[in-house]
Amino acid sequence: QVQLVESGGDLVQPGGSLRLSCAASGFSLGYLAIGWFRQSPVKEREGVSCIRTGDGLTYYEESVKGRFTISRNNAKNTVYLQMSSLKPEDTAVYYCAVGGHSSCSDSGATSMDYWGKGTMVTVSS
């Protein structure tokens, strides 16, 4: 059974940092695409970042470039999203998702097959 469990969400002040984790079970991080998405009450769900485990290609949405870093630990079957210089507009529920290798490209993340339940990130003073 495929399962994705996000953790690491918290309340943080502007300028702070958080690391989100996505623990995968029921499959291995082989030739896949893993993505991080976010959704807030004022914005539609958007793809924040993704990584292709086959060749390491990564994608970042323009507003998070230089502030967020996606990485993976195959031994732990976990994908991370390191977030720094957080801004109030980063406030959202963050979801991880997995799809086929082509689901992550230079243009973004699409057509994900499995989703986690999300973790809340609140950036506020």
Name the β-bridge partners of 72: 79
Assign 31 a pLDDT band (cuts: 50, 70, 90): confident
Residues 6+ apart with CB under 8 A from 120: 9, 92, 93, 94
Measure the CA–CA gap between 109 and 58, rounded to whole angstroms. Answer: 10
Least Cα distance to 119 among 27, 15, 31, 48 occurs for: 48
Residues 6+ apart with CB under 8 A from 92: 38, 39, 40, 43, 120, 121
pLDDT over threshold 90, residue 27: no
Q: What is the pLDDT of residues 33-70, one digit of tens each?
A: 999 999 998 889 999 999 998 899 999 999 999 999 99
Assign 18 a pLDDT band (cuts: 50, 70, 90): very high
Assign 28 a pLDDT band (cuts: 50, 70, 90): confident
Assign 24 a pLDDT band (cuts: 50, 70, 90): very high
Q: What is the pLDDT of residues 61-116, one digit of tens each?
A: 999 999 999 999 988 999 999 999 999 999 999 999 999 988 999 989 988 999 99
- For residue 26, what pLDDT is reported? 85
Assign 23 a pLDDT band (cuts: 50, 70, 90): very high
**DSSP secondary structure string, the chain?**
--EEEEE---EE-TT--EEEEEEEESS-SSSEEEEEEEEETTEEEEEEEEEETTT--EEE-GGGTTTEEEEEETTTTEEEEEE-S--GGG-EEEEEEEEEGGGEETTEE----EE---EEEEE--
